[in-house]
Amino acid sequence: MKCEHCTRKECSKKTKTDDQENVSADAPSPAQENGEKCDTSKHKVLVVSVCPQSLPYFAAKFNVSVTDASRRLCGFLKSLGVHYVFDTRIAADFSILESQKEFVRRYRQHSEEERTLPMLTSACPGWVRYAERVLGRPITAHLCTAKSPQQVMGSLVKDYFARQQNLSPEKIFHVIVAPCYDKKLEALQEGFPPALHGSRGADCVLTSGEIAQIMDQGDLSVKDAAVDTLFGDLKEDKVTRHDGASSDGHLAHIFRHAAKELFNEDVEEVTYRALRNKDFQEVTLEKNGEVVLRFAAAYGFRNIQNMILKLKKGKFPYHFVEVLACAGGCLNGRGQAQTPDGHADKALLRQMEGIYADIPVRRPESSAHMQELYQEWLEGINSPKAREVLHTTYQSQERGAHSLDIKW
């Protein structure tokens, strides 16, 4: 884990060096050095969950298809002793579906007296931390309350999966593989959800680049393996993604759902229009010559700060914004595709973008297991348990000394 200030640019360089010095797959434990017997009662089930945006990095790095990259990564992790390897896409399904419902509710409730819009996404921990610690209210009131995919995955593994395996949450050690360092901070700040009985949802976060370092030191001739699922012996037979150019695709999926739910319009192709720059794009829905939905994607803090200024002046005409701290989106996270001197590897990123675009899109509504999970795990779609497990609240600090420790 990194220090609590790992969203700062200067810290991301420092922690990368620390990881390079400390990575060692073969270091013996103190017990082994002293000849002590291993206490098997203290063994834990080791689970690794991989973010979809990490896979194109491994595919590009090893010059293989994204499916082969997934199987190679899974096989390598299991050769290290990992028991289960999951894809976090199913957690993103929950995050998107809950966000869809919340947007429709906010849209219907919005008025001059109760300004519930725009709704701002909450899947990016760097952006959420900035909103909480620097911006405060009223900006945090616009954050979507649906938990991020990483937070949901923690509950899926430590609650649902643990029950399936007759394990207590503390008997599972859960590692997330993600494209950015801010996911480490998210794991540290998540707290202890009631359903996990004092256990964190994610015990450790490793970036794609850190995993690649371990792979470079290890044996890549290990046997490939299919990614596991939360449903018994069923395996992931192919890699799919959500409909986002470089993210989990909240904008596209919520836009389609809102168009159908609010205006009975079926939207097949979501058309983006770049405005100020390629990282600020707009999507609109027109009906009878009037724009009835206006969505935006704001990536990188240059665009976020411009958005905040307009919001505070009341001159921001959008109903929804997909906000990501990294310019270029999640694929461009600082935890992967970096040159040795700490800059983005632009050639590798272009290759990754092409790989990601070619992955088949699967909509959350089409998941065969979502209804099953809502009923079996959460006691219904709109149940109190679903609200507790899948939603969160935000802490807004007063502006002061603590708000100065993040410099973007």
Q: How much is the pLDDT for 367?
A: 81
Give the strand pairing for 273-277 and 204-207.
unpaired
CA atoms within 13 A on the CB side of 159: 25
The SS3 call for residue 298 is strand
Q: Given phi > 0 = left and psi -120 to 50 = alpha, else beta, which region is 83?
A: alpha
Contact 118, 320 (CB under 8 A): yes
Token pair listed for 83: 């028991």
Task: Going from the first residue of the chain to its last (408 residues), give the mean pLDDT of each consecutive group of 10, the final group possibly shorter.
Answer: 37 40 49 62 91 96 94 94 96 97 96 89 95 91 96 96 94 96 89 71 96 86 88 83 88 97 95 94 96 97 94 91 94 91 91 95 88 94 95 74 36
Q: How much is the pLDDT for 33?
A: 59
How would DSSP label each residue in 362-399? --GGG-TTHHHHHHHTTSSTT-HHHHHHHB-----PPS
Secondary-structure breakdown of the chain: helix, strand, coil percentages, each rounded to the nearest 5: 45, 15, 40
Q: How much is the pLDDT for 8?
A: 39
Mention every residue, 6+ apart, whose C-beta is less than 8 A from residue 284.
Answer: 273, 291, 293, 294, 295
Q: How much is the pLDDT for 137?
A: 85
Q: Which residues pair with 217 in a beta bridge?
A: none
pTM: 0.86
Q: How much is the pLDDT for 155?
A: 95
Q: How much is the pLDDT for 220?
A: 65
Instruction: Domains for the chain: give ranges and CATH numbers.
Output: 43-387 (3.40.950.10)
